[in-house]
Amino acid sequence: MYHPRLYGAFYDMGLKYGQLLYEKANFTIPPISEHKHAFGLASYELLKKDYPEAIEEIEGFAKGIHDKPENLGAFLLSLGIFENTGQCSVFAFKNNDSVVVGRNYDMLFQFKKFTESSLIAPKDKYAYISQSDVFIGRSDGINEKGLFVAMSFVNGTEIQPGVSFHFVVKKVLENCKTTAQAIELIQTSRVSSANNFLLADASGDLAVVESAPQQSVIRRPPHKEQFLNITNQF
């Protein structure tokens, strides 16, 4: 597992990591089908309006690996859209004075070399520790304000060009300090596919956003319960 530490402007973070992977691992973008490339490219154009800071990071990374930002963006934004095979589970529990969260990855061993646990401190955003199997975008994490977010796949019935879960999680960690703020961000994002997002903040506010292109639903702990969990269903 890699343990990147990235600080500063988004473009500079992307450039630093891209150069590192290019020089140390001879990294190139894995090939994808024309269909996935077209879907990812359409999503990349939408991301320019929704999340320009992420575009800057993609541009820096692409520069570091000597490729085009559009190719990198198309690859990143098509990941996890067409083959939802994950079987992860996430759990959050609160007691009188603390919140405990847990995350299980049912990850294939073939991805072992690509997983990361990162410390990221973007300029003028919240710093956070997060995990992922891709170099830009996150699967879960907790930021300096104590906000935790994690996703799980759901086998939905529709997909659309938009913001993939990696970038939803990343944007939440960088911009939100409460569960309420994160809910609003997720619900106002044009998401690409169906996912569960579990949220827990420092005050003990727990929620799940069951999110899909058609609509989203908020789930809270049942009456007198102090926990929430997600797997791969709504």
Distance CA 195, CA 212 (A): 6
Higher pLDDT, 169 or 109: 169
Q: CATH no. for residue 96?
A: 3.60.60.10
Looking at the DSSP bridge assignments, the partners of residue 130 are: 118, 141
| 83, pLDDT greater than 80 | no
- What digits encode the pLDDT tens for the residues 142-155? 999 999 999 999 98
Interior/surface letters 35-73, b for 16+ CB within 10 angstroms, e for the rest: ebbebbbbbbebbeebbebbbbbbbbbbbbbebebbbbb
- What digits encode the pLDDT tens for the residues 86-139? 678 999 999 988 999 999 887 667 777 778 899 999 999 999 999 998 899 999
Looking at the DSSP bridge assignments, the partners of residue 91 are: 102, 229
Residue 124 buriedness (CB in 10 A; 0-12 / 13-18 / 19+)? exposed
Lowest mean per-residue pLDDT among 23-37, 96-110, 180-194:
96-110
Distance CA 23, CA 18 (A): 9
Mean pLDDT of all residues belonging to the chain: 94
What's the pLDDT band for 85 if we cut at 50, 70, 90? Answer: low
Distance CA 55, CA 137 (A): 11
Distance CA 165, CA 187 (A): 12
Full domain range(s) for residue 116: 5-230
| 169, pLDDT greater than 80 | yes
Q: Report which of 158, 149, 14, 165 is spatially closest to residue 78, judged by C-alpha positions.
A: 165
Domain count, the chain: 1
Cβ 129 vs Cβ 145: under 8 Å: no
Distance CA 60, CA 57 (A): 5
Distances (CA, A) of 203 to 169, 171, 206: 20, 20, 9
